[in-house]
Structure 1
Amino acid sequence: MISTDEINRMNEQKVEGRLIVLTGPSGVGKGTLLRSLMQSHPELYLSVSATTRAPRPKEINGKNYYFVSRPEFEQMLKADELLEWAEYAGNYYGTPRQQVEEKIQQGKWVILEIELEGARQIAKSFPSALKIFISPPSFAELEKRMRGRGQDAEDAIAKRLSHAKTEIAAADEFDLQIINDDFDTALHSLEEAIFNPTQP
């Protein structure tokens, strides 16, 4: 773990805002990693995405996602209110622009947990963003995790697995790949990538 002194020193040096993009296939464990990261580092700001998919059990509007209708999402697109967006498994996902830009201007470090297509858009509009890809230890393990969640219908799982192959093939487009095999190891690698990126 990174020591408190090291974190305080790095926090003092944080004079400029920063954008961090986290991508990986559905079921790889991005959300679990991020929850642990945010508990340890509340100084980071996790952007809340908008989506047209229905809330899952225990998901809260405004905390997990902004749950909107397709017409509402399309209106946000027309008004240029989204920093990036993508259609995935039949639903729209996107990052509201205003809060992210305000936080960066305030010197905050902002994390986006987004889809591959959105990450590619960010790579063009924010070339200095740190782009991290979370990979599964194997495709078979990814399928096991996805089915183990018990949150999606079979047709949705099939779409997600098909899309995951495309996502994994694009992992080399990112600055860093982290394999989420052992959770504690993956979390430590994520911390190092964000707070101490100059070390190998």
Structure 2
Amino acid sequence: MLFKVNIANEPIQTYKPQNNPGQYSSYNRPKPLMSDKFELNSSNSTVTNKIQPKNIDKVINDLKKLKSNIQGNIIVVSGPSGVGKDTVIDAFIKKNPDVNTVISNTTRKPRPGEKDGVNFHFIDKESFEKLIKEDELFQYMKFNDNYYGTTKKELNKKRQGHDVVINVTADEALKIKEKYKDKAVLVFIAPPSLKELEQRLRDRGTEKEEEIQKRLQAGREQLAISDQFDYKIINKTNKIDEAALELTKHASNEKDIYLKSLEKLIALLEKTATKSNTLRKIA
């Protein structure tokens, strides 16, 4: 199958999907293209921007297959404990349902309101150490005698045709950036002040004083390296939507150009298909 994109008066340029899902990266793709016109040549059909209604579903399916072969960005969110990272990410996902969340594993006990498979995969220490031994983890860390980490399988599955968002510590985020380069977008969520951060930790009511002090110290250490991140967002009190909108803006600006183009094209064709089906029913 061969996809061709035409930019205004420029010559048609070609983008050919292969079998390896991970082969497209910012280093080996052809020059990014944006277009209002689209042409698809497959084994026995040619579809232009004047697509016949009977062909729309096939074109949409072909485009979705192509989209699934592109690995999205890893939006890496970090920040001190208690700053509101999970709440910001939840609000961000509601505004961007096409972005996948990557659920990490942890050996700590669930906090009130947390659900297994939603906030974390809660597993025992023996199971986690087995993942480490078998090199199944994309990243992991240990804090307060509890492990936290994400499997490679989870990450790769969620990245097929989608950007993903992941919540890790600042030092782990920098390691991810070193490995994934431009495919990793680092966003640091910061509190308005350390005093406000301490108050949020105390209001949470889930840690003893010793643990609060450990988390505050870890927070200071993360803030010290936050200038190495691509973006920094101040999560103001009761302003979650503002932080989520800012995260949305940064994620959109960094989004893979082909992935963004395909998403727009698929949405346009699905809208066209819906209208065509409605008209046929009326007729």
TM class, shorter-chain normalised? Answer: 0.7 to 0.9
Q: Read off the aligned partner of 1:125 and give its amino acid letter.
A: K
Find out whether 1:111 has 2:165 as its counterpart.
yes
CA contact (8 A) 2:72 2:162 kept: yes
Q: How does 1:8-157 map to 2 (within 5 A)?
A: 16-104=71-159, 106-128=160-182, 129-157=184-212
Query: Once the two structures are aligned, what percentage of the paired residues are identical?
Result: 38
Find out whether 1:192 has 2:249 as its counterpart.
yes
Q: Shift of the alpha carbon at 1:197?
A: 4.2
Match of 1:6 in 2: none
Q: Shift of the alpha carbon at 1:124?
A: 2.1
Identify unmatched segments of 5+ residues in structure 2.
1-35, 37-63, 256-283
CA contact (8 A) 1:25 1:168 kept: yes
Distance in 2 between the 1:17 and 1:34 partners? 17
CA contact (8 A) 2:190 2:232 kept: yes
Distance in 2 between the 1:66 and 1:77 partners? 15
Q: Shift of the alpha carbon at 1:125?
A: 1.9
Per-residue CA distance 1:153-189 (angstroms, 9 max, x = gap): 2221111111111011010111011111133322221
CA contact (8 A) 2:102 2:158 kept: no
Distance in 2 between the 1:81 and 1:23 partners? 22
Structure 2 SS opposite 1:26: coil
Structure 2 SS opposite 1:94: strand
Normalised by the length of structure 2, the TM-score is 0.62
CA contact (8 A) 1:51 1:66 kept: yes
Q: Shift of the alpha carbon at 1:115?
A: 1.3
Structure 1 SS opposite 2:131: helix
Identify unmatched segments of 5+ residues in structure 1.
1-8
Q: Read off the aligned partner of 2:244 and give its amino acid letter.
A: L
Distance in 2 between the 1:141 and 1:126 partners? 33
Structure 1 SS opposite 2:111: coil
CA contact (8 A) 1:83 1:97 kept: yes
Match of 2:60 in 1: none
Distance in 2 between the 1:43 and 1:141 partners? 33
Per-residue CA distance 1:26-45 (angstroms, 9 max, x = gap): 01111111111112221110
Name the CA shift for 1:62/1:16 in 2 (closer, same or farther; >3 Å). closer
CA contact (8 A) 1:18 1:107 kept: no
In our comparison, the structure showing a higher alpha carbon Rg is 2
CA contact (8 A) 2:91 2:241 kept: no
Higher relative contact order (Cα pairs below 8 Å, separated by 6+ residues): 1
Distance in 1 between the 2:186 and 2:133 partners? 27
RMSD value over aligned CA atoms? 1.9
Distance in 2 between the 1:16 and 1:81 partners? 19
Q: Read off the aligned partner of 2:164 and give its amino acid letter.
A: V
CA contact (8 A) 2:185 2:254 kept: no
Distance in 2 between the 1:135 and 1:125 partners? 24
Distance in 2 between the 1:183 and 1:55 partners? 23
